Amino acid sequence: MASDTLTHGTNTDHNADQDNWGGGKEPFKASYGKVMIWYFILSDAFTFAAFLITYGALRFSVPTWPVPDFVFSTFPGGFHHKPLLFVTFMTFVLLTSSYTMVRAVQEGHRENKSGVVKWMVLTIFGGLGFLGCQAWEWTNLIAKEHVTIFNNPFGTHTESGVYLMGDGHDIKEGDTFQAGDSYLIHFHDGEYKPLQYKVTSEGPDKDSVKEQVMGPKAFGALFFFITGFHGFHVSVGLFILILVCINAASGLYVKRKNGYEMVEKVGLYWHFVDLVWVFVFLFFYLL
Amino acid sequence: MSGLSYEASKSVALKTILILAVITIVEVLVALAGKGYIIEGLHFPHAFMGLVMVVLSITKAYLIMYEFMHLKYEVPTFVKTILLPILLLVWFVIALLVEGGYYLNSRESVVNPVKTEIEK
């Protein structure tokens, strides 16, 4: 057969299925596929780094920025004022799926087919769970809080004052606030309704009546673009995981006798997705 | 692959995921404690919080790359080809954050150039 001739012609090793390296001594003691998935990951890491560093630059370029523990404080089921709880939950879902992926790779190394399939199915459920959480978070931000890529209703007060009207949610007429406090401008009847307030902090503007202003515009675009790009990576990872899982279950990798290397490669990609989330979590939710 | 037995690598994986979970919880608790959510009125300085978060996140990244992605068990030259390019990002971070700070400082003159001219 043609493929047999090709392998035997270029390979000095006895086991043609296991080793297709034809260039003499392997410098990295890793297969071509594994080396290349690592370099793909490296280049993808630079793409994500560029996005996240741009986020940092734009955040540094404006006087105030939406405070994460104010913006991300809702939890499914109508809970409010639970800062960072939901995103921590999301992080745990993704971390757990990374662990089940490690277990799948380990089972692969000892050629345990049912073990590989079992742990990969669990990983797939973890990935689906994470995407579900992200879908909920996006829905909440878009439909309830009306953040768009052009509008960001999350603002920060730069002076203290007293509200002259309530918003029908958390703020009542007469409530006071300090400089640095966050607010959300609610959206009713097709438009954002900023509240009026009287300035109480000392200065030339004391006792003047002002209106809440919208927060820095870039926030919405950066949030949806970066978490969206990460979510896209998760989706692609899920697609490949499902393919590899079906292949593993069908016994394809048994024949290759290379310790389920394909599972190891998709595992590397999956851990990378988790690795990126560590930094998305850092930039958007912790800092 | 890793030179560890199946049982040993299993326990390493479990230990790693537990450390990752603990670090994540610590990060969130510091983030909340530093803004007075846990003890009323307690606030940590921004720089301190930032430093803690960055150090803990890099620790997490190290654990994921070295244990989960098996970088610890690869050939050192291969590891260098992956890690050394990442050092370029150090300059990238410094350059763009300085740039962001510059925008902030020149915002007055950039945002209202016409207004300043009239007032003269």
Closest residue on chain B to A30 (Cα): B74
Q: Is A16 in contact with A4 (CB distance < 8 Å)?
A: yes
Distance CA A144, CA A174 (A): 25
Whether B85 and A42 lie within 8 Å, measured CB to CB: yes
- Predicted structure pTM score: 0.87
Contacts of A278 in chain B (CB under 8 A): 57, 60-61, 64
Q: Considering only alpha carbons, which residue of chain A is nearest residue B106?
A: A61
pLDDT band with cut points at 50, 70 and 90 for residue A96: very high
Q: Which residue of B has its CA nearest to A73?
A: B32
Task: Locate the chain B residue with the closest alpha carbon to A99.
Answer: B17
- The whole-chain average pLDDT of chain A stands at 87
Test B100 with A59 for CB contact under 8 angstroms.
Answer: yes
Interface of A with B in 66-95 (CB under 8 A): 67-69, 83-84, 88, 91-92, 95
- In tens, the pLDDT along A213-256 reads 899 989 999 999 999 999 999 999 999 999 999 999 999 998 88
pLDDT at site A22:
67
CB spacing of A287 vs B32 below 8 angstroms: no
Is it the case that residue B33 has pLDDT exceeding 50?
Answer: yes
Give the pLDDT confidence of A119-146 residue by residue, as tens digits. 999 999 999 999 999 999 999 999 989 9
Q: Which band of pLDDT confidence, cut at 50, 70 and 90, is reported for residue A207?
A: confident
Token pair in block for residue A84: 């960072």
Residue B45 pLDDT > 80 = yes
pLDDT at A135 (0 to 100) = 95
Answer with the residue of higher pLDDT: A25 or B98.
B98
Instruction: Please give the pLDDT value at position A259.
Output: 84
Residue A80's nearest CA partner among A142, A135, A138, A144 is: A144
DSSP E strands: which ranges in A6-109?
none
Tokens of B48: 């301190």
Tokens representing residue B39 in the block: 């003890």
Contact A101 B65 (CB under 8 A): no
Percent of chain A clearing pLDDT 70 (strictly above): 91
Instruction: Say if A63 is an interface residue toward chain B (CB within 8 Å).
Output: yes
The H or E element that residue A187 is part of is: strand A187-188
Cβ–Cβ pairs < 8 A, chains A and B: 135
DSSP secondary structure, A86-100, as one string: HHHHHHHHHHHHHHH
* pLDDT score at A158: 87
Testing the interface with B: which of A34, A36, A53, A265 to mutate, by most B Cβ within 10 A?
A: A53
Residues of B in contact with A42 (CB under 8 A): 82, 85-86
Which value does ipTM take for this structure? 0.87
